[in-house]
Amino acid sequence: METTSNIIPEFEKLFRQKLQLNNCKLKKKRQENNYEITTPAKDIFLMYWCEFPEIKLIYQAVGIRTQQTAVYEQAIRSHINSCVSSLQESI
């Protein structure tokens, strides 16, 4: 894989575009490689990694977890996998 410094900005750009399809917002946190994803249903997911592309996604319990939450989680995981695959193929 290319150097991480080149890959991460490209991943972030692709991922942000995919999230916009679901009207989700991506916010970079102060800590390196930490992001907050907010869905239209006000669900919050935390995404981070120590060793890219092993990305972790955690649901932040801020309310009641609904069926819609599970749908968003599935879509976000799919977007992560799609972006990582796309970057790996382009190398």
- pTM for this model (two decimals): 0.89
Closest CA to 80 of 12, 24, 3: 12
Closest CA to 86 of 28, 40, 18: 18
Section 31-43 average pLDDT: 93
The pLDDT tens digits of the residues spanning 55-81 come to 999 999 887 888 999 999 999 999 999
